Structure 1
């Protein structure tokens, strides 16, 4: 697939994620959004916190690629990064509002890129090379199962 078409597709998929979360969680009480079980140890709030951490980590990588010439950086796992945040402790709607705003800014940035900028890269120390395109693909591929996870957690509806 041509880079411009792939960039549009990825931007569209990234753009709708916050709305999907908002739609499935509308009217759901905070207690339900924070509920964990033996079968599912992550609550909807936990999943959202994780998605925010992933957005932050990948957003920082993209920023490095766009502002530096093929930098070498240490990879930070979203699971490690989240420990330095208060994301899991925030009220769900507050976290979703921030996630939606951050994602809108990220998608706006991606949509402004030329084909050449989508191919800017960095080296993750001791691991691999990634491009802006790789980061966007990763976010989409990683996020889709988590969006389904939230939908499954709440499929019984509010309460």
Structure 2
């Protein structure tokens, strides 16, 4: 039923963060991924269907419902982190326990359409903001105490574009697991 290996956990591979500034064309591709993710998640969720979204994408992994709600939670935090980096000097962001968030009662009780709508609105705002950043603004940073390192906004863009595609791939695994 499930393919074996690390491909289930990281079906598109692990995130690769840029060492230095991204080229404007690289940024444009990643921003486009942010902008297109809501429609891709919706289409994939519809293809998987209600019962399919209750299955985990891998043994011990989250189910499709949890994945969709997690993307909303994670990207809402990411959007706030970008805004903090743009308005404060190297702010320390607040990490959160992703697993604990997926176990909160609203995840099981809230229809995924609520999170899909949130992701659509959020990504519209986020992509608009990202399209308007100057070259200098892309090098602004925030500090993540969980990883004990600073991230530039270029790196955050690469991370969250990857994150969306990573979880989209998890949902697509549900199509082949039926």
TM-score, normalization: structure 2?
A: 0.74
Match of 1:134 in 2: 155
Cα distance in structure 1, aligned partners of 2:58 and 2:173: 15
Change (3 A) 1:111 1:38: closer
Range with bigger deviation, 124-133 or 52-61: 124-133
RMSD of equivalent CA atoms: 2.7
Tell me the CA shift for residue 93 of structure 1: 1.6
Which range moves more in the overlay, 90-99 or 35-44? 35-44
Q: Which has the higher helix share?
A: 1
Secondary structure class of the residue paired with 2:143:
strand
Matched residues in 2 for 1:143 and 1:154: separation?
17
Indicate conservation of the 8 Å contact 1:121/1:132, yes or no. yes
Q: 2:173 aligns with which of 114, 135, 152?
A: 152
Cα 1:86–1:156 shift into 2, 3 Å: same
What does residue 95 of structure 1 align with? 115
Q: Which residue of 2 aligns with 1:107?
A: 127
Residue 42 (structure 1) aligned with residue 62 (structure 2): yes
| Counterparts of 1:85 and 1:65, CA distance in 2 | 31
Q: Which runs of 5+ in 2 are unaligned?
A: 1-20
Measured at CA, do residues 81 and 132 of structure 1 come closer, stay the same or move farther in structure 2, by a change above 3 Å? Answer: farther
In 2: Cα distance, 1:85 partner to 1:3 partner: 42
Matches within 5 A, 1:55-94: 55-79=75-99, 86-94=106-114
Measure the CA separation in 2 of the matches of 1:97 and 1:153.
21
Give how far 1:73 is off: 3.6
